[in-house]
Copies of this chain bind each other. A is one copy, B any other.
Amino acid sequence: MPNRGNAQPIGVFDSGVGGLTVFREIARALPHESLVYLGDCARVPYGTKSPATIIRYSLEAAQHLVERGVKMMVVACNTATAAALPALQQRLAIPVIGVVEPGARAAVAATSGKVGVIATEGTVKSKAYSNAIRALDPSVEVIESAAPLFVALAEEGWANTHVAREVAGIYLEPLIDAGIDTLVLGCTHYPILRATIEKVVGDKVRIVDSAETTAATVKALIGDSGASGIPVHHFLVTDAEERFRRIAGEFLAAEIERLELIAF
């Protein structure tokens, strides 16, 4: 359990900018907590990398966050959660929360029996969502599908364009035809495209945004006895800080301060 009622920051780790959707929801849910966001922009994306490489990178990032005094760590990247969460939980003395388990729990609560999951190639290949959902309820049918172009569309600022709607149609129609009643946004970039995705799947399919459900999990852990006062957020990136600043501005709809380039 984290130290309750203390002002130590919460660490949020992602391969790049996608985890900012999780950052945003945690900041909303816990407006008095300070956050340290670490984006491994030098080595992004993780979605096409092997599990061994992802574990190595995640441990390096975690070590850096621990040195910054974080009281808990959120792995705000589905690919890193799928590949590295057990290794992180084993090695770190602070609590580590991933985005897959909260998403799976929300999906099981929402579904009538058939869940679709869209994610990166790495996450789909890991079957992390299928395993997590079936562990909670073996009767739920899960269909996982990779939607890699969504990341590029979100980062290009094209989330609400005609191209994005067309791409969403191509990725999502097989899931709709298969009769899913719930769709998990299994990559932290995808909430940026939520409005477009909702238009394609219609209002009969419930959307599970793992950023929201992860923030709720963090709040449940920290409780009402978290930090009080004005939060101070820091952003650490391993490369390309100007690009990060631009995309973070779009993702958070606000200018970011305290951006630092780090190396490890």
15 A/B residue pairs, CB under 8 Å, sorted by A: A41-B49, A42-B49, A44-B48, A48-B239, A48-B240, A50-B239, A50-B240, A53-B239, A121-B243, A148-B152, A148-B155, A149-B153, A149-B156, A149-B158, A163-B163
Measured in the bound complex, the distance between the Cα atoms of B43 and A96 in whole Å is 25
Measured in the bound complex, the distance between the Cα atoms of B42 and A66 in whole Å is 25
Instruction: Kindly state whether residue A224 has any CB partner on chain B within 8 Å.
Output: no
| A49 touching B163, Cβ below 8 Å | no
A170 touching B166 in the complex, CB below 8 Å, given contacts A42-B53, A149-B153, A243-B121: no
Instruction: Kindly state whether residue A258 has any CB partner on chain B within 8 Å.
Output: no
| A48 touching B153, Cβ below 8 Å | no
Measured in the bound complex, the distance between the Cα atoms of B49 and A42 in whole Å is 6
Instruction: Kindly state whether residue A167 has any CB partner on chain B within 8 Å.
Output: yes
| A166 touching B156, Cβ below 8 Å | no
Measured in the bound complex, the distance between the Cα atoms of B153 and A142 in whole Å is 27
Instruction: Kindly state whether residue A204 has any CB partner on chain B within 8 Å.
Output: no
**Which A143-200 residues sit within 8 Å CB-CB of chain B?**
148-149, 151-153, 155-156, 158, 162-163, 166-167, 170
Min CB distance, A47 to chain B, in Å? 10
